[in-house]
Chains A and B, each alone.
Chain A
Amino acid sequence: MEIGIILTPDERSKAYLQKILQNKITISEILFMNDGRKETSFSEEIITKSKELGFNISESVKNTLNIHDLDFYEFNFVDINNPILVEYLSKSKTDIFIFTGGGILRKDVLKAGPKFIHLHPGIVPNYRGSTCFYYSILNEDTAGVTAYFMDEKIDTGNVIFQKEFLKPNYAFVDDVYDSHIRSETLLEVLKNKMIQKNKIKKQNQNEGETYYVIHPVLKHIAILSCIKN
């Protein structure tokens, strides 16, 4: 089974790629959707925390690819539904792509051939939707990640693996914690060959809860509850 990855120029992709390389996991095909956006700059504190957690948030995806002399195919847009990408995927020999982004996959890309795996920062079906780790921290003092096969809806696909994490004791939740917990879950999936074992669990689509982008007031309470000590 050939497993590839579709990267985007963001913190999540940095964590996925760097940890895959550190762990010498073989990826058969690397696609990089890169719209040339300006790299976000991070404080020393954030960079240090990311390094403690196994990735360097200040190193761009392109830099990592080049440093390791990796073969990759680059697209000048960031859109999983772009017809150019769909056309490329329809000719790819890769069976499954890990997609670092999110959102809704349209029919064209779902029918292109390969399947797509997403690492969602919430334990489905109870935490579907956006910024779920904040809701989970507020409700349960923990967060979780679900690795699943993407389908046409949001966070309803067949589940490969779920992992719970303690809430962070630092404030950089969007940039560092989110990327960290997703990349750690991905590593566990890949190291244990869970995709190849194909032990998937279907979700009951009528169960669960969908959340939307967290309001800044709730976000502040969630983060302050993480760093209160």
Chain B
Amino acid sequence: MVEKVEYTYDKGDLIKNPQKYQKSEFHGNEFLIAYKESRIKVLKKIEKIIENKVIDNLEQEEIENNDEIDSDTIDLERLLNEILTSKNYERNDVIDILLKKIEIKKKIIKRYNLEFKELDDEKYYLKNYIYLSNLLMIKYDKTENLKFLNTLLKINDIICSQIEKYDEILNIKKFFEILNNEIIYIEKLFLKKGIKLKWK
């Protein structure tokens, strides 16, 4: 009996045990189908989370970061929020550093020093992952540079692995949009490359 190909890259706790993606095996068309199925499962989970939240009347959330501003550190949430709200998408200096953090260190933390080196406080903060994912989505949309799509897929794997533990509804809704777009980008790419694939 032929074993069903599974998409395993968004499984487990990827904050604690990150994926390395080195020399990943080739499984043919089935792998791309498994990828889409896995993403659809997450989208359905998100729909449920949103549904439950609406029922609980918890949609209004405090999204302000009330932490004191420390001039000796970079607060990642503030920085990403600032880039996104001001639509300053040409901050390639910052975007490239954060992209590299996801690719090499496999994580981003709450605060950095002014040279973007990690501070001791390695608090895990899913909101920042969603902000960065949003930024990478916008960058890929504008440039079609595959380096952004590559890191977008990886950061979305991480977020997918954590989404059930998260309850900030506005960000969850944003991630729903990002994940839908990611699937569209992949679909467009294999169409562009002339691959005939039956998506479910």
Chain A interface residues (CB < 8 Å from chain B): 135, 138-139, 171, 173-174, 209-225, 228
Contacts and interface: CB of A to CB of B under 8 A. Distances in A.
Nearest to B151: A212
B24 interface: yes
B146 A217 contact: no
Contact of B35 (A171, A211, A217): A217
B145 A138 contact: no
A25 B190 CA distance: 43
A216 B21 contact: yes
A212 B154 CA distance: 11
15 contacts: A209-B147, A211-B147, A212-B99, A212-B104, A212-B151, A213-B21, A213-B22, A213-B103, A215-B153, A216-B9, A216-B24, A218-B189, A221-B189, A221-B195, A228-B193
Interface in B148-200: 149-151, 153-154, 186, 189-190, 193-197
Interface string B17-34: 000111110111101100
Contact of A217 (B145, B186, B196): B186
Interface of B is mostly: helix
Interface residues of B, number: 33
B31 A214 contact: no
Contact of A218 (B28, B29, B149, B194): B149
Q: Sorted from nearest, which 6 A-B pairs have the closest CB atoms?
A: A212-B103, A225-B193, A216-B24, A215-B153, A213-B21, A224-B195
A221 B104 CA distance: 23
Nearest to B22: A213
Given A215-B154, A218-B153, A225-B195, 11 more contacts: A138-B146, A138-B189, A212-B103, A212-B151, A213-B22, A213-B103, A219-B26, A220-B26, A221-B189, A221-B195, A224-B32
Nearest to B29: A224
A213 B9 CA distance: 14
A138 B100 CA distance: 21
Contacts of B103: 212-213
A228 B194 contact: yes
Interface string B80-117: 00000000000000000001100110000000000000
A211 B21 CA distance: 13
A173 B150 CA distance: 18
A193 B119 CA distance: 50
Contacts of A217: 31-32, 35, 153, 186
Contact of A221 (B20, B21, B145, B193): B193
A68 B73 CA distance: 60
Nearest to A221: B190
B31 A218 contact: no
A57 to B, nearest CB: 15
A218 B99 CA distance: 17
A214 B9 CA distance: 13
Nearest to B157: A215
Contacts of A138: 146, 189, 193
A173 B26 CA distance: 10
Contacts of A223: 26
